């Protein structure tokens, strides 16, 4: 799927819920990106954990055990930390960020559809990753199938308001809202009635 970078996490949550994946291995390029993504999708109510080089061996072992036992749905991993992982019957792999090295893409998607099981690999491609996508397609010698971007809800995030300095009220400023009262509570939902975009790419895999 072609999707804006700021909307990737919302699309990921939508795909996990719509597909009903009991498990999904999600790849990011950086450790901090993995930690941030775990926090974001957990706020959406999806159990997740990260494994990367900054995690202790005990923490990585615990996260993998929870993933295999079904206690978490999304395991977010960096390339190096995911090497050597043995996860059977993995239904889905998501490239949240495309790898810098095209060969790593092949290794990532090879973790699903093992032993004759069905599985799929999904890539979320931001505009600045178009070059990485071309490199992968050049390695594969084929285009990665694209899919229309589905309608998915983008939660409204209220901007933080900064209070004026004490003793210097802003001229003409409106009175502060009462505690618990939300401003701009109603904003149009993104995607409603909009023509779907075209996107890349989802691989259905069956061996």
What burial letters (b/e) apply to 147-164, b meaning 16+ CB within 10 Å?
Answer: eebeebebeeeeeeeeee
pLDDT classification of 154: cutoffs 50, 70, 90: confident
- For the cut 60, the answer to whether the pLDDT of residue 74 exceeds it is yes
125-139: average pLDDT? 96
Question: Which of 42-56, 73-87, 148-162 is predicted most confidently?
Answer: 42-56
Higher per-residue pLDDT: 87 or 101:
101
CA separation for the pair 153, 118 (Å, rounded): 28
Residue positions counted in the chain = 207
For residue 60, pLDDT over 50 is answered with: yes
On whether the CB atoms of residues 48 and 94 are closer than 8 A, the answer is no
Q: Within its chain, how far is the Cα of 101 from the centroid?
A: 19
Instruction: Give the pLDDT mean for 136-144.
Output: 96
Give the pLDDT of residue 83. Answer: 77
Q: Reduce the DSSP state of residue 131 to 3 states and report it.
A: helix
Hey, what are 51's tokens? Answer: 């494994």
Quick one: pLDDT at residue 51?
Answer: 94
Distances 71 to 47, 67, 83, 88, 200 between C-alpha atoms, Å: 7, 6, 22, 16, 30
Q: What is the pLDDT of residue 156?
A: 61
Q: In this predicted structure, what is the pLDDT of residue 105?
A: 93
Q: Is the pLDDT of residue 168 over 60?
A: no
- For the chain, the domains span 5-126
Average pLDDT, the chain: 79
Segment 100-114 shows an average pLDDT of 85
124 near 92, Cβ under 8 Å?
Answer: no
Q: Tell me if the pTM is above 0.85.
A: no
**Which is it for the CA torsion 151, 154, 155, 161, positive or negative?**
negative
CA 42 – CA 49 distance, rounded (Å): 9
- Band of residue 151 on the pLDDT scale cut at 50, 70, 90: confident
DSSP state, residue 2:
B
Residue 114 has a pLDDT of 59
Residue 26 has pLDDT above 80, yes or no: yes
Candidates 3.40.50.300, 1.10.3980.10, 3.40.109.10, 1.10.1040.10; correct CATH number of 5-126?
Answer: 3.40.50.300
């Amino acid at each position: 799927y072609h999707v804006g970078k700021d909307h990737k996490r919302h699309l990921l949550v939508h795909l996990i819920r719509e597909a009903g994946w009991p498990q999904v291995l999600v790849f990011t390029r950086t450790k901090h990106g993995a930690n941030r993504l775990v926090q974001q999708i957990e706020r959406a109510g999806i159990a997740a954990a990260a494994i990367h080089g900054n995690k202790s061996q005990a923490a990585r072992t615990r996260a993998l055990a929870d993933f295999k036992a079904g206690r978490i749905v999304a395991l977010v991993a960096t390339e190096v930390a995911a090497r050597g992982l043995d996860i059977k019957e993995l239904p889905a792999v998501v490239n949240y960020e495309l790898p810098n090295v095209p060969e790593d893409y092949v290794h990532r998607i090879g973790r699903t559809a093992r032993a004759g099981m069905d599985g799929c690999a999904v890539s979320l491609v931001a505009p600045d990753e178009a070059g990485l996508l071309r490199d992968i397609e050049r390695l594969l010698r084929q285009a990665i199938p694209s899919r229309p971007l589905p309608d998915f809800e983008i939660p409204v995030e209220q901007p933080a308001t900064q209070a004026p300095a004490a003793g210097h009220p802003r001229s003409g400023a409106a009175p502060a809202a009462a505690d618990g009262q939300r401003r701009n509570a109603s904003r149009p939902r993104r995607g409603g009635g909009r023509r779907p975009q075209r996107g890349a790419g989802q691989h259905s895999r069956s061996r």
